[in-house]
Amino acid sequence: MHRRLATLALALVCLIIPATGFAAGFSVFEAGARALGTGGAFAARADDPSTIFYNPAGIVDLENWQATAGVSLIFTGTSFAGVDPDPGYGVTEKTIDHVFTPINAYISWKFAEKWAAGIGLMNPFGLGQTWDNENEFTGRHIVQEVDLVTFNVTPVVAYRPADTVALSAGAQIVHGSVDLTRAQQMWDPNGSGFLDVGTAHLEGSNDVAWGWTAAILLDVSESVRVGINYRSKIELDASGDAAFVQQASGNPAFDLAVAAQWPEDQGVALTVKLPDMLWIGGSYDGVDNWLFLLDLVFFGWSEFQTLDFVFDDPSLDSSRPQNYDDTVQIRLGAEYTLNEAWSLRGGYYYDPSPQPTPSMSPLLADKDRHGITLGLGWVSGKWWVDAYGLALISPDRSTDGESLDGYNGTYGSYGYLTGVNVGYAWGGGEQE
């Protein structure tokens, strides 16, 4: 029973911790439609209020008041083809298709010739999944259903000390919540294996966590610009409640034995250090009507080596290795300006997974990602609209018999996204 509860605690831990910096699996990089149109390469472009996420130094070049808000639609699903006995060769299990809707909203204010301030709201982590036929799904003892919502508020200030240099600094304020359900199982000594003996439902959240951000924009020449943006790692104190509901197996003697070991509803807590992030980007607009972009995004995932969690019942306390690796995303983008009103965009990115093979599970089986994006921009006076579409290509990945849960097989997934932002400038400013 304790082994199964330790897995349950791990599930809670993995879902409470998302906050500001996960690559691949938990990351929702879709924080602005203009940036996503060019593959998310935006650290050196930084020319609308969504730059508060990608490089906040850019707001010092936005005139007067400007604001943009938007939403993405994320269509995603996961499949699992396991080896014997779960679910057995030739059998594939799937999640129910989901549509997720992360939002973003930003406002900037240039209150002096060389000074600006702004604030952004985004859902950098907010996905979830439900396995189809969850009461028969062979990985139900790990997870059946999960729903995660996080909010990141980023207030910033920017300053231009020279014509070719802009600087910014700000804070990160993070809150998240999660619901998770999974089956509880116990070994039947008179039977042939584990039996379902109940369910566990988790609700968890973190107190407000704090971090910081700093950025710089350099105009190297009339055509070349370099942007650097840093977001600090965050120490997140998370806590949650676990409710356990026993179910009858049909064997009264066995049910009594289970009841004797059945845990009471209780809390769980942990502290996790989340990785820092570093953007290094460049842009070039020396060709008529064209803009070219390149970003490298570094994630300090080597900080994420173990998960240590504490239950109200000390006998359930446990630690589990994660052994994540540092990663670097590569993001490429281009934009062609058709006329004063319309722009066409395209991009590509490579997002390697930080997750080692033994840590893969139905809760999170992460894979390397290739993203191909297309975008469209429209401007008219004080109004602008940006839209994008994104296709994700993720090669199938096998546990290679190394799963920490002993749940081995091959995971597949699909994902495609679309989103739109609407912006407005007032107080004399117009979007360019």
Pick the more confident residue, 161 or 359. Answer: 161
Pick the more confident residue, 69 or 428. Answer: 69
Pick the more confident residue, 401 or 163. Answer: 163
Pick the more confident residue, 148 or 287. Answer: 287
Residue 158, CB half-sphere, CA atoms under 13 Å: how many? 32
The total number of structural domains that make up the chain: 1
Domain hosting residue 125, numbered range:
2-426
Q: Per-residue pLDDT tens for 99-113?
A: 888 899 999 999 999
Q: Is residue 431 part of a domain?
A: no
Q: Is residue 432 part of a domain?
A: no
Mean pLDDT across the chain, nearest whole number? Answer: 84
Longest dimension (CA), the chain: 81
Instruction: Give yes or no for residue 331 having a pLDDT over 50.
Output: yes
Question: Quick one: pLDDT at residue 248?
Answer: 83
Choose among 69, 23, 17, 99: nearest CA to 274. Answer: 17
CB 54 within 8 A of CB 31: yes
| CA dist list (Å): 270 to 4, 174, 204, 206, 288 | 18, 16, 11, 10, 54
Q: How far is residue 326's CA from residue 424's CA, in Å, rounded to a whole number?
A: 38
Question: Quick one: pLDDT at residue 244?
Answer: 84
Token pair belonging to 406: 């002993």
Q: Is residue 376 part of a domain?
A: yes
Q: Is residue 384 part of a domain?
A: yes
Least confident of 80-84, 260-264, 295-299: 80-84
pTM of the entire predicted model: 0.87
Pick the more confident residue, 132 or 86. Answer: 132
Question: Quick one: pLDDT at residue 158?
Answer: 98
Question: Quick one: pLDDT at residue 9?
Answer: 41
Q: How far is residue 143's CA from residue 419's CA, in Å, rounded to a whole number?
A: 29
Question: Quick one: pLDDT at residue 140?
Answer: 82
Neighbours of 389 (CB within 10 A): 17
Question: Quick one: pLDDT at residue 333?
Answer: 97
Question: Quick one: pLDDT at residue 5?
Answer: 42
Residues contacting 333, CB < 8 A, separation 6+? 37, 38, 39, 40, 41, 42, 292, 293, 294, 345, 346, 347, 348, 373
Instruction: Give yes or no for residue 347 having a pLDDT over 90.
Output: yes
Residue 317, CB half-sphere, CA atoms under 13 Å: how many? 8
CATH no. for residue 264?
2.40.160.60
Q: Is residue 109 part of a domain?
A: yes
Q: How far is residue 193's CA from residue 336's CA, in Å, rounded to a whole number?
A: 62
> What is residue 265's DSSP assignment?
S
**Identity of the residue numbered 81:** A
The band of 6, judged by pLDDT with boundaries at 50, 70 and 90, is: very low
Least confident of 120-124, 219-223, 367-371, 386-390: 120-124
Q: Is residue 259 part of a domain?
A: yes
Least confident of 14-28, 43-57, 172-186: 14-28
